[in-house]
Amino acid sequence: MNKLFSRILLVFALVAMLAGAFAFMTPTAKAADGTFHISVYHGINGKALGLSKELPVIASVYKDGVWLADLPLSFKDRFTANLPEGTYKIMVTAVGVGPVPSMTVGPVFLPADAHVNLKAKLGAGKTPIIVARVK
């Protein structure tokens, strides 16, 4: 199996796992302000990929199909926020390298009162991936 095909399968598996996690969440009372909490952590040392240690990236966030923000992140940066419930997609672009398809999350519906943790790390074969945890 070639590397490109393996990476495409990995991306689809990650999206399916994220969608499955949301599908089986226990229903809870919605947050009074209609928001969920998100934490995003950049945990990839670029040297492992032959790039700068900081590996600067831009995480483009879309809500309900509309661009919401671009978040600049470097190695060990963390972004946290409370965001309104909705359908989100996050696409990551490595500065100077281009889009990183294996680092795309969504689109997925994020309900009020959820706690979402996203962590960028290297997966099998040094493929950059996002690990998602939802409470």
Residue 1 pLDDT greater than 60, yes or no: no
114-123 pLDDT, tens digit per residue, is 999 999 999 9
Which DSSP letter does residue 25 get?
A: P
The predicted pLDDT at position 38 comes to: 93
Q: Is the pLDDT reported for residue 30 higher than 80?
A: no
Cβ atoms within 10 A of the Cβ of 9, count? 11
Q: What are all long-range contacts of 53-59, with beta carbons under 8 Å and residues at least 24 apart?
A: 55/94, 56/94, 56/95, 56/96, 57/92, 57/93, 57/94, 57/95, 57/100, 57/103, 57/120, 58/92, 58/93, 58/95, 59/90, 59/91, 59/92
Question: Among candidates 131, 119, 39, 41, which has minimal Cα distance to 83?
Answer: 39
Cα gap 25→4, rounded to integer Å: 32
Show the tokens assigned to 78. 């963390």
Q: Can you give the residue range of the structural domain that contains 114?
A: 3-134
Residue 82 belongs to domain with CATH number? 2.60.40.2890
**Dist CA 111 CA 47 (whole Å):** 36
Find the mean pLDDT for residues 105-115. Answer: 93
Q: What is the spatial distance between Cα 48 and Cα 126, in angstroms, rounded to a whole number? A: 8
The domain tally of the chain equals: 1
Looking at this protein, which amino acid is placed at residue 67? W
pLDDT-based confidence at residue 88 (cuts at 50, 70, 90): very high
